[in-house]
Structure 1
């Protein structure tokens, strides 16, 4: 949104930090909620999947492209929808429908982070919490749901600004 001129650049870093902190707190809440299940779950991949996104097929370039496309659609769609005259009360419904549509159509390949904090915060929680039967936090993949949404969001905002 800052790229589109709809959000002050001075707020980007503090808002990003707050979103990541929120993701960590969310990861803590998930850990507490599922606490009795950790002992019963032996599949480390399933445990990680509760906290973070992951690819259906691990091919970093194509996983990155998937995240770029999903976030491009999100940002371009949000900017296009808010350009019109929606009733303020309907905007959250439209945003929710857009996110559901992205998830249903594009989410199968990577789990669609479409926001770096959605993956990074809970992945940090997974890394530091004492979860029974957990494996690695898969930091080798973590760049995909961070870089892909940043690139896709910037491209969506830039295209929106170029179009009349």
Structure 2
């Protein structure tokens, strides 16, 4: 596959992933959404179906890595690093496009949610509320990126490493196509089910980013979008869902080379 195919495939695929994955979170969280309060099961399965749709759509173009940690794991096991920057560039761009599309699709719901006094506070307290939120996560940041329920750097980092390790070892052992450079037809289904499993079993502490592009791209979009009362983008936490998944992917590749290759 050519570099242009890889870039286009990863951009389209990651955009679909974030559109459908971020979309299910928006549906569950935002005021005036018909799916509001549908719960964690809806989110976990929504992300799994998002992976399934994105992978089946773009696997013929790029192998549908859609995740820098997966790309890193495949590069370590295959020894081929030539296309890693192209994959990563397409993944981050696609994640930003997908997050922007979520905002467009739920534009009215974002406005209703972020102008609700019960959610953002009384006008008399607005200045204090904004100041407090700017130091951490704003009220809709969770639609765009992840954050911990308990802020403990060691635990949060370990959770992301463990979750991504499970994902990447499953991809490397069960999901790759015959070329070993991307996901095959059966691999797409396996990967989607693994993502659902990770969400249900390991997603509670941090929201299971398990994908640096999935978290970083939408966080940038959150920081740039003209959302009223949106609060901060929690940049002090942003390195964890980048470093943790990359470390987890590398560890999974190391185990694969020792035990399976």
When normalised by structure 1's length, the TM-score is: 0.91
Distance verdict in 2 for CA 1:40–1:94, change over 3 Å: same
2:73 equivalent to 1:73: no
- Structure 2 residue aligned with 1:31: 103
Higher Rg of the two aligned structures? 2
- Structure 2 residue aligned with 1:4: 77
RMSD: 1.8
Which structure carries more relative contact order (alpha carbon 8 Å, separation 6+)? 1
Q: C-alpha displacement at 1:79, in angstroms?
A: 1.1
- 2:140 aligned to 47, 62, 65, which one? 47
Q: C-alpha displacement at 1:94, in angstroms?
A: 1.0
Q: C-alpha displacement at 1:159, in angstroms?
A: 0.6
- Structure 2 residue aligned with 1:132: 228
Task: Identify unmatched segments of 5+ residues in structure 2.
Answer: 1-73, 120-132, 179-183
Between Structure 1 and Structure 2, how many residues are aligned? Answer: 161
2:113 equivalent to 1:20: no
SS at match of 1:136: coil
**Does the CA contact (< 8 Å) of 1:38 and 1:133 recur in 2?**
no
Q: C-alpha displacement at 1:84, in angstroms?
A: 9.9
**Does the CA contact (< 8 Å) of 2:111 and 2:228 recur in 1?**
yes
**Does the CA contact (< 8 Å) of 2:210 and 2:245 recur in 1?**
yes
**Does the CA contact (< 8 Å) of 1:75 and 1:157 recur in 2?**
yes
Flag as ranges the 4+ runs of structure 1 deviating above 6 A. none
- Structure 1 residue aligned with 2:203: 107
When normalised by structure 2's length, the TM-score is: 0.58
**Does the CA contact (< 8 Å) of 1:41 and 1:133 recur in 2?**
no
CA distance in 1, matches of 2:103, 2:177: 41
**Does the CA contact (< 8 Å) of 1:39 and 1:133 recur in 2?**
no
Task: Identify unmatched segments of 5+ residues in structure 1.
Answer: none
Deviation string for 1:66-104 (max 9, x for gaps)? 00000011111111114799xx53221111111111111
CA distance in 1, matches of 2:223, 2:149: 21
- Structure 2 residue aligned with 1:117: 213
- 1:93 aligned to 185, 189, 203, which one? 189
